[in-house]
């Protein structure tokens, strides 16, 4: 084989030229063009090559076990006690473990594509040690090469066992502070079967690199804020009334939880609006079901129970509309408080709370806010 290939892209002054020979004929070459750009590929010489063209779109990925049909993969990032890189702020040990799920054979040449966290640097000395010596845990590694979807770190393994876990561990160093650090992904797949891949996320502080975004249907929003906390301690009536009439609070609802849907990206609480005490941007919602979204990390703090009623006060001005309905987010400024039943109101535990909420409802319904 001795094949010369040229890629010409509309709007570019220079062309990409690649040469395929018997020594490198298995190395893929790639380039990215815009969907609207025309391109032309010409080849001269001897040999047979394959051209693949596909469209790439960006969507928020989800970790599901069904996606990992051929590989099992786990990723752990643990902070080290001492900084071990000049100029670094912190040092971490990234441990990647994987095995091939086939009952018949080991995986052949395998690629581990490691996305890098913003502000972090890989310890290349560690990787060099893994690729040398008698043990030689990895075949080789490449930095910022075309093979990587994100232009990060690519590790090649000669094989992956189907009987025991292969373990790769190396250090990563935080060089710069990043205000809103998003998780990075690790992908493993056989070199000759790139579509059968397994993806896991990692982050220095979040379990499984959980993404701090709220996604529902075709809309995603950033959720990098603290969780709302269901107020279980004693609340003075004046506190509750002040919150309900605060300038930033637009709606005050008595709601009943009808159902809950949990996922990696968002928890959805479907609630019936039993009573509108203060109407927000959305009108005519009393007696109807609306969805309230929260980040999965907040599940324990919200502590909603199906069939129970709650007082919810919050904002709607910044909320998006899907299908003509507002999508309510349960953020750190949202007031959430359990609304006792009439039977519970007879007990000492709930009597004051029930009386206070009933008084607030009467005040808002009959007189509204006085400020």
**Tell me: the pLDDT tens digits for 348-363?**
999 999 999 999 999 8
Q: Is residue 209 pLDDT above 60, yes or no?
A: no
How is domain 2-46 classified at the CATH fold level? Answer: ubp-family deubiquitinating enzyme fold (2.20.210)
For the purposes of burial, counting CB atoms within 10 Å of the CB of 115, is it exposed (0-12), middle (13-18) or buried (19 or more)?
A: buried
How is domain 216-366 classified at the CATH fold level? Answer: OB fold (Dihydrolipoamide Acetyltransferase, E2P) (2.40.50)
Compute the residue count for the chain: 371
Distance CA 279, CA 312 (A): 12
Q: Nearest 10 degrees: CA dihedral of 278, 284, 286, 292?
A: -80
How is domain 65-209 classified at the CATH fold level? Answer: Immunoglobulin-like (2.60.40)
Q: Which pairing describes strands 184-190 and 193-202: parallel, antiparallel, or unpaired?
A: antiparallel
The better pLDDT of the pair 315, 122 is held by 122
Burial per residue of 217-226, b for 16 or more beta-carbon CB atoms within 10 angstroms, e otherwise: eeeeeebeee
Closest to 67 measured CA to CA, from 203, 188, 208: 188
**Per-residue pLDDT at 252:** 92
Q: Which pairing describes strands 289-294 and 328-329: parallel, antiparallel, or unpaired?
A: parallel
**Per-residue pLDDT at 368:** 84
Tell me where in the chain the CATH 2.20.210.20 domain(s) lie. 2-46
Provide the token pair at 285: 């919602």
Q: Is residue 306 pLDDT above 60, yes or no?
A: yes
Helices (H), the chain: 124-130, 237-244, 299-302, 351-366
**Tell me: the pLDDT tens digits for 96-154?**
999 999 888 999 999 999 988 888 999 999 999 998 877 788 888 988 644 444 447 99
CA 36 to centroid of chain Cα atoms: 30
**Per-residue pLDDT at 61:** 47
Q: Is residue 157 pLDDT above 50, yes or no?
A: yes
Helices (H), 274-368: 299-302, 351-366
Beta bridge mates, 339? 309
DSSP one-letter code for 304: -
**Per-residue pLDDT at 147:** 44
- The confidence band for 347, taking pLDDT boundaries of 50, 70 and 90, is very high
Q: Which pairing describes strands 2-9 and 267-278: parallel, antiparallel, or unpaired?
A: unpaired
Mean pLDDT on 33-54: 88
**Tell me: the pLDDT tens digits for 44-99?**
999 888 888 877 665 544 555 456 889 999 999 999 999 999 999 999 999 999 99
Range with the lowest mean pLDDT among 84-98, 212-226, 296-310? 212-226
Tell me where in the chain the CATH 2.40.50.120 domain(s) lie. 216-366
Q: Name the one residue in this structure whose structure tokens are 């393994």.
A: 157
**Per-residue pLDDT at 149:** 43
Distance CA 275, CA 353 (A): 17
**Tell me: the pLDDT tens digits for 164-198?**
999 999 999 998 876 556 778 899 999 888 888 89
Contact 79, 173 (CB under 8 A): no
The pLDDT mean for the chain works out to 83
Q: Nearest 10 degrees: CA dihedral of 31, 34, 39, 42?
A: 10
Contact 171, 178 (CB under 8 A): no
Q: Which pairing describes strands 16-21 and 2-9: parallel, antiparallel, or unpaired?
A: antiparallel
Q: Is residue 207 pLDDT above 70, yes or no?
A: no
Distance CA 266, CA 257 (A): 16
**Dihedral pair phi/psi, residue 45, rounded to 5°:** 115, -155
Residue 10, H or E segment: none
Distance CA 135, CA 158 (A): 12
**Per-residue pLDDT at 322:** 54
Mean pLDDT on 289-299: 83
Q: Is residue 295 pLDDT above 80, yes or no?
A: no
Closest to 187 measured CA to CA, from 120, 114, 117: 114
- The confidence band for 293, taking pLDDT boundaries of 50, 70 and 90, is confident
Rg, the chain, Cα only: 28
Q: Is residue 224 pLDDT above 50, yes or no?
A: no
Kindly report the pTM of this predicted structure.
0.46
Q: Is residue 341 pLDDT above 90, yes or no?
A: yes
**Per-residue pLDDT at 142:** 87
Tell me where in the chain the CATH 2.60.40.690 domain(s) lie. 65-209
DSSP one-letter code for 48: -
**Per-residue pLDDT at 214:** 52
Q: Order across the sheet with 289-294: list the strands.
A: 328-329, 289-294, 267-278, 251-262, 309-314, 335-339
**Per-residue pLDDT at 46:** 93
Closest to 30 measured CA to CA, from 48, 13, 7, 47: 7
């Amino acid at each position: 084989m001795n094949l010369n290939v040229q890629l010409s892209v509309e709007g570019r002054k220079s062309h990409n030229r690649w040469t395929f020979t018997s020594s490198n004929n298995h190395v893929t070459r790639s380039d990215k063009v815009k969907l609207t750009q025309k391109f032309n590929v010409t080849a001269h010489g001897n040999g047979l090559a394959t051209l693949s063209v596909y469209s790439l779109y960006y969507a928020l990925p989800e970790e599901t076990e069904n996606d990992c049909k051929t590989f099992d993969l786990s990723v752990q990032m643990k902070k080290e006690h001492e900084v071990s890189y000049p100029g670094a702020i912190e040092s971490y040990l990234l441990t990647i473990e994987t095995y091939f799920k086939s009952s018949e054979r080991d995986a052949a040449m395998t690629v581990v594509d490691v996305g890098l966290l913003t502000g972090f640097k890989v310890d290349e000395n560690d990787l060099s040690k893994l690729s040398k010596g008698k043990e030689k845990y990895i075949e080789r590694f490449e930095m910022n090469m075309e093979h990587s979807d994100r232009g990060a770190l690519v590790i090649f393994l000669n094989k992956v066992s189907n009987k025991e876990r292969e373990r790769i561990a190396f250090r990563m160093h935080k060089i710069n502070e990043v205000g809103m650090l998003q998780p990075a992904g690790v992908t493993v797949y056989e070199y000759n079967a790139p579509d059968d891949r397994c993806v896991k996320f990692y982050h220095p502080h979040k379990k499984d690199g959980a993404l701090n975004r709220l996604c529902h249907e075709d809309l995603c929003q950033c959720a990098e804020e603290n969780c709302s906390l269901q107020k279980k301690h004693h609340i003075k009536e004046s506190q509750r009334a002040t919150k309900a009439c605060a300038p930033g609070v637009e709606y005050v609802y008595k709601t009943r939880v009808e159902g809950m849907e949990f996922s990696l990206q968002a928890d959805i609480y479907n609630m019936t609006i039993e009573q509108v005490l203060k109407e927000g941007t959305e009108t005519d919602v009393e007696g109807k079901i609306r969805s309230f979204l929260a980040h999965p990390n907040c599940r324990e703090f919200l502590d909603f129970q199906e069939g129970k009623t709650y007082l919810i006060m919050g904002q709607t001005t910044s909320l998006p509309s899907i299908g003509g309905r507002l999508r309510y987010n349960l953020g750190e400024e949202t007031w959430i408080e359990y609304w006792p039943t009439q039977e519970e109101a007879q007990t000492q535990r709930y009597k004051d709370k029930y009386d206070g909420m009933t008084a607030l409802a009467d005040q808002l319904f009959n007189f509204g806010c006085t400020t």
